[in-house]
Amino acid sequence: MIETTVSTVINKPVSEVFAYICNMQNQTAYNSSISSSEPVADTPNEFKIQIDLGILKLTEIYKLEEIIQNQLIVASCHSNSMKFTDRYEFKNSDGKCHLTISDKMELKGLFKLSEGLVKMNLKSQMTANLNALKKILES
């Protein structure tokens, strides 16, 4: 299991940051691994996402498991190659949003052999994605 956490303070109110992130279609703007995110018809809180990991491209369902308004979003994806859970925590910090994103990933099958490489790259990728998100929201 690979566990990675990143955090930052975004110079916007929690409610604005929460609303932007809660719209999973926005992921393509700041998450370099997500090339597409579309709602699944007649299934609230599920999104069909295309994940591009360079060596592997997947189309999977990303499900919002838990939402606590302006506090928490938990979303997960389960596929034959991997399963991961993302946890977004929002806290007010003097009118700004302190955002913490945690990812727990388990690689499966032959993909498990690349765990060391994925672990090394995931932290830097999550940091870059968080910086892109911060730039979008603060501009």
Rounded to whole angstroms, how far apart are CA atoms 10 and 31? 16
Residue 110 CB contacts under 8 Å (≥ 6 apart), including other chains: none
* Whether 96 contacts 125, CB under 8 Å: no
Q: Which two tokens stand for residue 37?
A: 């995110």
pLDDT in tens, 92-131: 999 999 999 999 999 888 777 777 777 778 889 999 999 9
Q: Which two tokens stand for residue 73?
A: 């979003």
Domains in the chain, ordered, with CATH? 2-138 (3.30.530.20)
Amino acid at 101: I
Percent share of the chain, pLDDT over 90: 74
Q: Which two tokens stand for residue 115?
A: 């765990």
Q: Which two tokens stand for residue 117?
A: 């490489």
Can you give the pLDDT at residue 40? Answer: 95
pLDDT in tens, 37-89: 999 999 989 999 998 876 678 899 999 999 999 999 999 999 888 899 999 99
3-state secondary structure of 28: helix
* Whether 131 contacts 32, CB under 8 Å: no
